[in-house]
Each structure stands twice: as C-alpha cells, then as structure tokens.
A and B are shown apart, each in its own frame.
Chain A
Amino acid sequence: MTWSEAEKMRTRTSSRRGRGWVDTARGLVSREVFVSDEVYRLELERIFARTWVFLAHDSEIPEPGDYVARVLGDAPVIVLRDDGGAVRALLNSCRHRGAKICRAAAGKVRKLVCPYHGWTYERDGRLSTTGFDRHFPKDTDFSRMGLVRVARLGSYKGLIFGCWDASAPDLEDYIGDFRWYLDAFFARSPGGMQALAPPHRWRVKANWKIGALNFIGDSQHIPTTHTGPLTLDPVRLARTGVIKAAENSFQVITREGHGCTLTYLAPGLADEAYQTHCRELEPYYVQTLDADRRALLHHLRVAVGTVFPNLSFIETQVAPAEKAVIIRLWQPLGGTEMEVLSWVLAEREASEHYKESVLAKGFRNFGAAGVFEQDDMEIWASVTSSSANRVALQFPYSFQTSLPYADKPVADYKWPGRAFQPPEIEVVQFEFMRHWDRLVSANG
C-alpha cells in the first residue's frame, strides 16, 4: 500500500460514524479500532450497552448471599444469589450518594449495606431501609429506590450473562446456533462445569478485541509467539501427535459474530496413544451429549472460541487424558487497556485429584503467570505502543488471508454455522470484525 492509498483509507476511516473502519473487499481493518478511546466510547454505547455480556460462572456463587463484583460495559455490578436461589445483577453503587456497596472482588452478604450512610438493600436489590425513612417526604415510594438492576439477566449452561438493553432478544436467541458448540464444552456432564478457583486477573495495555480475535481463531500466532512452551516440556509432551493435525481441523462462525476454531489430532492415530479426554469422564459425555457433539470432541486437541463480544474459551490438552477448559473475559478499560479474567473449569463429577491437576496445569499455561500468557501479553502491549501513532495509524491491519476463503465455506458441513478450512486462515477473525463493524457503524 502506498502512502496515497493509505491517505484514502484514512479519509474513509476517520468518518465520524465509523464507516469504513472495516474494509470488506480488501480484508483490512483500521488501526484506530484498536487504539482509540473514541472508538471505545462508541463500543460502550453500541455494543456493551446493547448485547449480552458475560458476568460470572454460576458455580462462583453457590449459596444465597454469595457475590462476585464484575463490570458490565463500564459499570460495576454485583452478581449475587438471592434468598430464593435466583441470580441477581445490580449496579454496584448506592442510590443515595453513589458509594460502592460491595467493595471486595467476592464475598458473602446477609444484606447489601452501603458503608457510607447505611442505606440497606435486600439480596434481590430492594431497598429495605435508608435508616432515615421517617425524614423522607410522606409520598416517597421506597419501592422504586432499590439498587439499579441490570435490565436483562440470563444463564446458559452455567454461563451468566447480563444486558443493559431491556429490549434485547433472549440470551438463547442471542447465542443462537453457537449454543450447539458451547454445549460440548459446558454441558457435557449432568452436573455441568465448575469454576475450580477464583479467576486470575491481570491488566495489559492492549485493546480487548485483540483477545477476542486471538481466541476466536488465530492459529497463525501459535508457532511464533509460543515457541517457548511448545518447545519445552511439559507442554511439548502434551502435544504429541498434534504436529500432524490439520486436514480435519476447521474454524466456524455463526450469527452474531460468535465463532471457534477446532484443531484435531491427525486421523488414524491409535486411540490409546492419543487419548485426549479423561476416560473416567467419557460415560458422562455419552449420557449428556448426542452423537454429533461426541464426534466434535473426539480427538479434539485444542478448541478456542469467542462469544461476541468479549467472552472466550479454550479447551486444551494439558497432559495425556487431561483437558483444561478455560474461560476468559476481556474486560475493556478504555481503548488501549483491558483487564483479563481467566478461570479454569472442570466437570463437576471429576475426581478431586483430576480437578487439582487440571487447575494447576490450566493456570500454568493460561494464568496470570502463564507460560503462554507472558509472551502473548508482551506482544499485545507492543501492538498498542507501536500502532498508536500518527504514522502507523495510516496503515490498516491485514486480515487478507480471509479473502480467498471467505466465500468458500465447507460445502457439506453438517453442524451449525459456516465452517472454513484450513484452520490457520483469518476468515473467522475477519467475520468477527465485520460483525463488530455492523454494530458500531449502524445508524442511531
């Protein structure tokens, strides 16, 4: 691309309402999308105020009064279990003078008591007393003065989502066809999945979408970014057989910008030698999943996926017959910074020994000191520091390895969504960006 072409692109990309940020015909995306606070503010308004956004895993708050403090868009929320066992999501700010009600990352409360002047709320958010009710005007309607509720709250297979838009479609419709894939990872035993520990949390000076794209299917970065752990034991050992994978691997995109990339062991490897899942858990899969979803899991070496906008997951083999399922939240803190939350999950029915092992190995790879994460984060931060400058902003990012494949989905694909091969192309990443562009650039 010459400078003048870049100038033209820039003219397009700087239009106020964001049109032209994503150049579908040429497979390009403006850098502004990844470094601009202005774009972030548009995202807050057009994505995080309107779509369903992941809040917590159901197993984090097992009993009445248990809560975790999270952020929905840019608003702090309390996700807690009420007296009847239902999950509530409430703005974490007192209706009186705004103080934060739950100030820890997690805890258990009998009532929600504001530490400032003592306004007290029930676990479902209703105001129980201000402490000074008698001084209020006679016609005060205290029933309308509860903590602000997240407009919609939904749960899919233990994944709790909230949405600030009361008119949004139901969560199940929003996740749509992608539910079919989520079931294989989050609903493959009668008890479902369980978060094995609180999330690891770290901050990185990078745009949240870099994480979402990395996990929806960025197979190209793996051999270069992750040379270290892939070369070294114990990760090297756990990867036996994966080198020959490919022809049966693919990526998938469904409506609403959800997608995943599934990498399989090469066909024909002996079952015993290349067992991926824990044998003891397989009866539960048989009990819970249909034949197609069991086929999806069979010899699956690593799966990554993103539920639009900022929930991702990875299921990866961490040892022979041991798989960690990790979920990720890419919490934006502006255009150029995010907080990453990373949980390790396992089937509730798994043995304590298995859970301990998967927890340690899952975090060893994908935690706040993860041998994969340390290299990813360094590079993502460099994306920001190298791109947020007048010169670099003229030159869009390339997603061009999507172009030759974008209109050639796998013809006889029998599962939901559109599938593409080979797995290392950028179709799914670019489809994510096109969906993002439709939301952010929409009128109104």
Chain B
Amino acid sequence: MAGASSRRTVSENVSDAEYIEIQRFLHHEAALLDRRQFGEWLRVLTEDVRYRVAVYVMRDGTLGNVDHAIIDEDIVGLRSRVEQVSNPRLTRAENPAPLTRRFISNVQAARLDTHGYAVESNVLIYRTKTAVPQGGVYVGERRDVLVRLDGTLRIARRDVRLDHEIVFDGAISAIF
C-alpha cells in the first residue's frame, strides 16, 4: 500500500472564515459519529469517497514505517459497515452500543487548486464498551480532502493513520 504523502499541510492560503468553516464542519462530523447518527454521517461524504484507515508496521533501518491499511472502503463498503454496527440485530461488537468521545484538534487546511481543501487533523477517540469497561483510546492523524457540493462541505477522501502497530482491543468496529 502506498503511504500518503509526508508533506505537511500549512494553513496559509485559507481565510479565517474558511478555516472556521472547516473546523465547524469537522466538529459537526465528530458529533454525528459520537451520537451514532450514522445515516447523517454518510450524507457528509461524497458518492466517490475513499475512506482508509491504516496502522503502522515499524521497520528497521532505512526503510521507514509502513502505512498498512486495515480499512479501505468506498461508499458501498462504508454503507455496509455502518448498517452492520447500527442495527442491533446485525452486530455483536456494537450491541450494546459503545460510548465514544472524539476530540479533533491541530487542524490545518490548505486550499486546493480544484474546488476543495486538504485538511489535516489529529483525532483521539475514547471508547468504552461493555467488554472493556475501563475504556481505551485510539489516537491518530487524519488527512482529508473536503469538497464543496451545493454550498456545503463534504468528505471526498479520508486517510486515517492510527498511532498503533497492534490493535489493542479486539478487531476495530469504530469509524474514525
């Protein structure tokens, strides 16, 4: 799997108003996921969205760390995942529903030549479920491409890189 570019996005060519709009969008999106409003969440994605979550494989020496996909979905696959975890009859992992609290920070944005923004953010998700009452934390970095459709921002691409090498708590059912 090719890793995302290591280029850092610098918020230099977006106006304060744009920056605030992007931040507001990310906070809104996080709230939808925390409240398990998955149907609403799917609507902030574009139809051609690519949604990818990766962990690291630590490599020795000069080869660096490998960015190793654990989720790689288009809208069809995402809808299926969402349907699985939101219908209590179809999920064991998310029934009872886990409690999640997302913290999105360190937002940087740059306007793209096309009609959108490259946006980076840090994500921290505290997640409590019956099997793990003490909770657990997923931490990572997100690189999104946001586009404006009918006047509102949508996610066209999301690359999540979790700062984990080993998933610590069973297999992941969460959405980042």
**Could you tell me which A residues sit within 8 Å of B by CB distance?**
67, 102-109, 197-198, 200-205, 225, 227-229, 231-234, 339, 360, 363-364, 367-371, 373-382, 385
A108 to B61, Cβ gap below 8 A? yes
| Alpha-carbon distance A385/B83, docked complex (angstroms) | 28
> From A375, which residue of chain B is reached at the shortest CB distance?
B92
Task: Tell which of A198, A229, A367 touches B57, judged by Cβ atoms closer than 8 Å.
Answer: A198
B170 in contact (CB, < 8 A):
yes
Task: Tell which of A205, A232, A339 touches B84, judged by Cβ atoms closer than 8 Å.
Answer: A232
> From B175, which residue of chain A is reached at the shortest CB distance?
A369
| Alpha-carbon distance A379/B170, docked complex (angstroms) | 10
On whether A231 and B90 interact (CB within 8 A), knowing A104-B60, A369-B70, the answer reads yes
Taking A107-B63, A381-B170 as given, write out 6 further A-B residue pairs in contact, using a Cβ cutoff of 8 Å, ordered by the A residue number: A228-B85, A232-B84, A234-B76, A368-B55, A369-B173, A378-B93
Query: Chain B residues with Cβ under 8 A from A204's Cβ?
Result: 169-171
| Alpha-carbon distance A233/B71, docked complex (angstroms) | 16
Interface residue stretch chosen among B13-21, B31-39, B107-115, B160-168: B160-168
Task: Tell which of B61, B77, B81, B91 touches A107, judged by Cβ atoms closer than 8 Å.
Answer: B61
Query: Chain B residues with Cβ under 8 A from A369's Cβ?
Result: 53, 70-71, 167, 171-173
| Alpha-carbon distance A232/B77, docked complex (angstroms) | 10
> From A226, which residue of chain B is reached at the shortest CB distance?
B92
On whether A368 and B76 interact (CB within 8 A), knowing A202-B167, A378-B92, the answer reads no
B69 to A363, Cβ gap below 8 A? yes
Which size bracket describes the interface of B in this complex?
35 or more
Closest beta carbon of chain A to B147's beta carbon, Å: 24
Query: Chain B residues with Cβ under 8 A from A198's Cβ?
Result: 57, 66, 68
Query: Chain A residues with Cβ under 8 A from B63's Cβ?
Result: 107-108
| Interface residues of chain A: helix, strand, loop or mixed (majority) | mixed
A-B contact pairs, 27 of them (CB 8 A): A104-B59, A105-B57, A106-B58, A109-B60, A198-B57, A198-B68, A201-B167, A202-B167, A202-B168, A204-B171, A205-B131, A225-B92, A228-B84, A364-B71, A369-B71, A369-B167, A371-B80, A373-B171, A374-B171, A374-B173, A375-B92, A377-B171, A378-B92, A378-B173, A379-B92, A381-B131, A381-B132
| Alpha-carbon distance A364/B113, docked complex (angstroms) | 33
A368 to B167, Cβ gap below 8 A? yes
B69-103 vs A: 1/0 string, CB under 8 Å? Answer: 11111001100110111010111111000000000
Q: Which 6 pairs from chain A and chain B are nearest by CB?
A: A107-B60, A377-B170, A373-B171, A228-B90, A202-B167, A375-B92
B1 in contact (CB, < 8 A):
yes
Query: Chain B residues with Cβ under 8 A from A364's Cβ?
Result: 71-73, 77
Task: Tell which of A232, A339, A382 touches B166, judged by Cβ atoms closer than 8 Å.
Answer: A339
Query: Chain A residues with Cβ under 8 A from B166's Cβ?
Result: 201-203, 339
B90 to A109, Cβ gap below 8 A? no
| Alpha-carbon distance A393/B113, docked complex (angstroms) | 65
Query: Chain B residues with Cβ under 8 A from A381's Cβ?
Result: 131-132, 170
| Alpha-carbon distance A231/B66, docked complex (angstroms) | 34
Residues 22 to 49 of chain B near chain A (Cβ within 8 Å):
none
| Alpha-carbon distance A192/B85, docked complex (angstroms) | 37
| Alpha-carbon distance A222/B103, docked complex (angstroms) | 36
Task: Tell which of B58, B70, B81, B172 touches A104, judged by Cβ atoms closer than 8 Å.
Answer: B58
> From A232, which residue of chain B is reached at the shortest CB distance?
B80
Closest beta carbon of chain B to A75's beta carbon, Å: 18
Query: Chain A residues with Cβ under 8 A from B68's Cβ?
Result: 197-198, 200
| Alpha-carbon distance A360/B172, docked complex (angstroms) | 16
A203 to B1, Cβ gap below 8 A? no
A201 to B165, Cβ gap below 8 A? yes
> From A102, which residue of chain B is reached at the shortest CB distance?
B60
Task: Tell which of A107, A368, A375 touches B70, judged by Cβ atoms closer than 8 Å.
Answer: A368
> From A342, which residue of chain B is reached at the shortest CB distance?
B171
Query: Chain B residues with Cβ under 8 A from A201's Cβ?
Result: 165-167
Closest beta carbon of chain B to A330's beta carbon, Å: 14
> From B89, which residue of chain A is reached at the shortest CB distance?
A227
A232 to B167, Cβ gap below 8 A? no
Closest beta carbon of chain A to B108's beta carbon, Å: 26
A105 to B165, Cβ gap below 8 A? yes
Query: Chain A residues with Cβ under 8 A from B61's Cβ?
Result: 107-109
On whether A202 and B170 interact (CB within 8 A), knowing A105-B58, A375-B91, A375-B93, the answer reads yes
| Alpha-carbon distance A23/B53, docked complex (angstroms) | 45
Query: Chain A residues with Cβ under 8 A from B170's Cβ?
Result: 202-204, 373-374, 377-378, 380-381
| Alpha-carbon distance A140/B59, docked complex (angstroms) | 35
| Alpha-carbon distance A367/B73, docked complex (angstroms) | 13
A234 to B77, Cβ gap below 8 A? yes
> From B72, which residue of chain A is reached at the shortest CB distance?
A360
| Alpha-carbon distance A243/B60, docked complex (angstroms) | 47
Closest beta carbon of chain B to A90's beta carbon, Å: 15
| Alpha-carbon distance A204/B167, docked complex (angstroms) | 9
| Alpha-carbon distance A105/B55, docked complex (angstroms) | 13
Closest beta carbon of chain A to B119's beta carbon, Å: 23
> From A204, which residue of chain B is reached at the shortest CB distance?
B170
| Alpha-carbon distance A339/B92, docked complex (angstroms) | 20
Closest beta carbon of chain B to A140's beta carbon, Å: 29
> From A110, which residue of chain B is reached at the shortest CB distance?
B61
Closest beta carbon of chain B to A312's beta carbon, Å: 15
